[in-house]
Amino acid sequence: MSNIPSKEQILQWITDNPARRSKRDIAKAFGIKGAARIDLKRILKELEGEGHLEKKGRIYHDPQKLPPVTILSVQAPDENGDLFARPLEWHGEGVEPRVLYAPRTADPAVGAGDRILAKVFEAKGEDHHYTARLIRKIGTNPRKILGIFRKGDEGGTITPISKGMDKEWQVRPGDTHGARDGELVEGELAGPKARMGAPRARITARVGDPGAARAVSLIAIHEHGIPDSFPDAVIARADAAKPAGLKGREDLRDLPLITIDPADARDHDDACYAHADDDPKNEGGHVIWVAIADVAHYVTPDSALDREARKRGNSTYFPDRVVPMLPDRLSGDLCSLHEGVPRAVIAVRMVIDATGTKIGHSFHRGLMKSHASLSYEEAQAAQDGEVTERTEPLIESVIRPLFAAYDALKIARAKRQPLELDLPERRIELDDSGKVISVAFKDRLDAHRLIEEFMVLANVAAAETLIAKRTALLFRVHEEPSPEKLEALRDVAESAGLTLAKGQVLQTRHLNDLLRVAGEDVSELISISTLRSMQQAYYNPDNFGHFGLALKSYAHFTSPIRRYADLIVHRALISAHGWGKDGLSAAEIERLEETAKMISMTERRSMVAERDTSDRYLAAFLADRVGAEFAGRISGIARFGVFVKLDETGADGLLPMRALGQEYFHYDAEAQTLMGSDTGTLISIGDRVLVKLAEAVPVTGGLILELLEHDGKAPAQGRRRGRGKPPARRKVGATKGRKTKLRKKSARSPS
């Protein structure tokens, strides 16, 4: 193997030779022949598994970079008239790269929605990552248009609800599908876009009144392609299901298991119980039971129910509705652990010592009966001494022992030091008509943390058991920040007068130390920057650990009603323990990698749909307050403006460049700052601002703001100046103790 190159040499060669990247090219370049090709294949496979290479067809490339020739989807022009494009495929870390489309004089006209085959070049020192040159147009993005139809003399127009599309699409008289003025419609492209003017569309479906109750979430469902109705065969299979009996199960009905959930929860995945361990060898220890709905009993491999659940991947939660992974007969009835009703479960019995360290566990397939269904608030109030008629019988036998076990788990958590980003959760409350009546931040109670710690412990037990039994499973993976993102976080910390040391293996405790020492004036900056440095968690049949939770092995086991990954883990446990024929099938094991990618995608799809829906509800809630003033913090900076998170509602609004004052601002993509060309004012993430709401657009969720004060000072007035050389960086109105650092520009992705 002496002539086999190292992984580093292979990666460097691929970087240096973007036009020749097949296994054959690599073998030829390094003179690899005969049996040595097997070793090369193994190394390339390892590089793929480690995420350093991606293979498409026979070609390898760095997944953190775009291939030199790639397919792009052109976006709507920005406020400066520049056309940017998105790669149709991007599997790298973090935010996809920003690509500037640079047309030549002879190139045909392209517009938003067009797909192009382009040659891309890295853009060093710019506010975008790549520049694209057209090779050829390959059509128009066939995705559906969702928007508001406006009737006109000659057909009408569709105003898309998506922020990234053309502002208006023309609809000819014969293409209106009978839509009424102001109706929410779905459409598709009806012809090529002219060099000048709006593209044409035909209406394919009438969705309904955009102002009607439940229309806001319906927009997200259509826009993101979330399946929201079950096929007849799936409903029939669910309706035919019968409650599970005791046959082949342990009888756990006498265990005083209870559920603790949000007050408005309809599906109850999990129940728990704890008591002091009576083993004299484990003085001060506890026994914890966590029982999880046995969804695998009802949803068997490759059944109609299973295929539909896999396609959905997870339930999606909106303020006005839930799009469930499973039909209501299962999710809200047979699988839900309702009080006083026998229900099939897979339970784990865990023993912890006085310091919260798990010293043993075992899994059981049983039948339980919930002794009470409590809300988080009820459980917390009882623990705090506010006992009600419902909680009085439970306080000494169930509730106090649960919190005693939690106190021990807190000791283990403090030693393990998972990432402590205790971010507030927002709740949007609607009236019966679907109108927002309040926006508030939920209180984080010890009852919430108790359930979270119990679930984490159960998930760890599931992963450890399946590893020990050599059973295939899906791990929940959260990798540590990339070196680039870590360096960006280090720069932000340094600009705030803080230090994140180099030259050591990053652990969550290092980030917790940084969060802990950040003063009140920069705590938001450090929290946001730390969150942005994190990679997105995903599912994988291979174990890479969970960085955020500081755990070596982790799997999702506790929510099979709403997550397909948990159902896979349940089936794996059934197979590992020989509990029945409804375990993990050979076909499922064969496609675990495909399933992992699919449900990681559906999870991201739901997250974006939920976020978009919240944005639209918040914009509707604030629409009556246009002109009002709001305090907030800068949460993001881009070439076209500044994003501000409003204190009152947590809504995100945009301060366009033109709203920052009458001077030109230089954008530093690496540092994520804007600097005034005249005053040297430095605008950074975390800065306090006072803004006025200039515009609220409920249909898109957009909020446009005007700047009144930045760090207590009004923006510069006078004639807006053109681009000039940025002055030496200085912070106007800087908080004492904060310092800044001049950085060179680079092509690094914004953190």
Please determine, for residue 733, whether its predicted confidence score (pLDDT) is greater than 70: no
Please determine, for residue 250, whether its predicted confidence score (pLDDT) is greater than 80: yes
pLDDT at site 27: 85
pLDDT at site 732: 32
pLDDT at site 469: 97
Please determine, for residue 504, whether its predicted confidence score (pLDDT) is greater than 70: yes
**Strand 99-101 to 130-140 pairing:** parallel
Q: Which residue has the tokens 């008591």?
A: 275
Question: Running DSSP on this structure, what letter comes out for residue 267?
Answer: -
Please determine, for residue 315, whether its predicted confidence score (pLDDT) is greater than 60: yes
Phi, psi of 617 (to 5 degrees): -65, -40
Question: Is domain 145-210 given the CATH code 2.50.20 in the classification?
Answer: no
pLDDT at site 2: 53
**Mean pLDDT calculated for residue range 685-712:** 91
pLDDT at site 166: 60
Please determine, for residue 738, whether its predicted confidence score (pLDDT) is greater than 50: no
Query: What global pTM score does this model have?
Result: 0.75
pLDDT at site 545: 96
Q: In which residue ranges of the chain is CATH 1.10.10 found?
A: 7-61
pLDDT, tens only, 439-496: 998 889 999 999 999 999 999 999 999 999 999 999 999 999 988 888 888 888 887 7
Question: Is domain 69-140 given the CATH code 3.40.630.30 in the classification?
Answer: no
pLDDT at site 698: 86
Q: How far apart are CA 677 and CA 219, in angstroms?
A: 42
Torsion angle, CA of 473/474/476/481, rounded to 10 degrees?
A: 110
Who has greater pLDDT, 214 or 331?
Answer: 331
pLDDT at site 142: 46
pLDDT at site 336: 97
Who has greater pLDDT, 248 or 717?
Answer: 248
**Mean pLDDT calculated for residue range 244-262:** 97
Q: In which residue ranges of the chain is CATH 2.40.50.140 found?
A: 69-140
pLDDT at site 193: 57
Who has greater pLDDT, 609 or 525?
Answer: 609
Who has greater pLDDT, 743 or 210?
Answer: 210
Helix 446-468 vs helix 564-577: angle between axes, to the nearest 10 degrees?
50
pLDDT at site 729: 43
Please determine, for residue 359, whether its predicted confidence score (pLDDT) is greater than 80: yes
pLDDT, tens only, 5-53: 888 788 778 777 765 567 788 888 888 887 788 888 888 888 777 667 7
pLDDT at site 706: 95
CATH (one of 2.160.20, 1.10.10, 3.90.79, 1.10.472) for 7-61:
1.10.10
**Strand 372-375 to 258-261 pairing:** parallel
Q: Which residue has the tokens 């899906």?
A: 474
Q: How far apart are CA 67 and CA 6, in angstroms?
A: 22
**pLDDT, averaged across the chain:** 86
pLDDT, tens only, 290-301: 999 999 999 999
Q: Which of 269-273, 391-395, 667-671 has the lowest mean pLDDT?
A: 667-671
pLDDT at site 168: 82
Burial of 501 (C-beta count, 10 Å sphere; 0-12/13-18/19+): exposed
Q: How far apart are CA 113 and CA 158, in angstroms?
A: 15
What percent of the chain stands above pLDDT 90? Answer: 51
Q: Which residue has the tokens 């029939």?
A: 236
Q: Which amino acid is at 89?
A: E
Q: Which of 166-180, 259-273, 726-740 has the lowest mean pLDDT?
A: 726-740
pLDDT at site 579: 97
pLDDT at site 70: 82
Q: Which of 369-378, 623-632, 669-678 has the lowest mean pLDDT?
A: 669-678
